[in-house]
């Protein structure tokens, strides 16, 4: 699926993810709805507690992605990836190759 605001293809993933809000390990849980190479859409996010920048953890894939909020709605947020992913054991490669 393509979004007119984002030229990268978006893929439906439906993973539970953790948002890592600070260096002390504060985390909240939400759902990864879809993802592209440049960003993602998250739902079930407690919007009042989300800072402008944070990292999100896809624990099943052992991948942490730094990001910043691009847009919000009443139940979802869109994020843009802002740096290199942190992963081990080929986590990001497994995420993309297993789904497509």
Written as six digits, the tokens of 78 are 């869109």
Residue 5's pLDDT band, with cuts at 50, 70 and 90, is low
Residue 94's Cβ-count burial label (10 Å; 0-12, 13-18, 19+) is middle
Tell me the per-residue pLDDT of 11-67, one tens digit each, with 9 for 90 and over.
887 878 888 887 776 888 899 999 998 999 999 988 777 899 998 888 777 888 899
Beta bridge partners of 3: 6
**pLDDT: is 94 or 22 the higher one?**
22
* Domains, the chain, with CATH or none: 11-99 (2.40.10.220)
Q: 99: closest CA among 31, 24, 14, 23?
A: 14
Residue 100 confidence (pLDDT) = 40
Decide: pTM greater than 0.75: no
Residue 87 confidence (pLDDT) = 76
Chain centroid, CA 95 distance in Å: 12
Tokens 């879809």 belong to which residue? Answer: 34
């Amino acid at each position: 699926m393509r979004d007119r605001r984002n030229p990268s293809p978006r893929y439906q993933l439906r993973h539970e993810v953790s948002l890592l809000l600070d260096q002390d390990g504060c985390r909240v849980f939400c759902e990864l709805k879809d993802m592209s190479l440049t960003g993602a859409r998250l739902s079930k996010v407690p919007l009042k507690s989300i800072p402008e920048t944070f990292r999100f953890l896809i624990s099943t894939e052992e991948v942490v992605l730094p990001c910043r909020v691009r847009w919000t709605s009443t139940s979802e947020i869109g994020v843009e990836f802002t740096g290199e992913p942190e992963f081990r054991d080929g986590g990001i490669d497994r995420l993309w190759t297993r789904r497509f």
